[in-house]
């Protein structure tokens, strides 16, 4: 693993907010949240790009069950 120089104040704040026991755990949690957020942003980019059938009635489909 590379030696990283990370702001000590940021590390302490992350440890306190996340209730993580170790710096590694806090960093891993932060990376997971970062990745999840970026994936969500990519999904948001799809809104308005998908065509849908204006005649489709989802409530009507429910009644067939």
pLDDT given for residue 65 in this prediction: 54
pLDDT given for residue 63 in this prediction: 67
pLDDT given for residue 10 in this prediction: 92
CA atoms 39, 44, 45, 49: torsion sign: positive
Checking if the pLDDT of 31 tops 80, the result is yes
Determine the Cα angle at 39 with ends 37 and 19, to 5°. 35
**Entry pTM:** 0.62
């Amino acid at each position: 693993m590379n030696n990283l120089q990370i702001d000590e104040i940021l590390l302490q704040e992350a440890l306190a907010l996340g209730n993580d026991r170790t710096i590694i755990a806090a960093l891993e949690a932060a990376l997971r949240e970062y990745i999840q957020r970026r994936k969500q942003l990519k999904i948001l980019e799809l809104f308005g790009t998908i065509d849908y059938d204006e005649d489709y009635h989802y409530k009507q489909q429910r009644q067939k069950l």
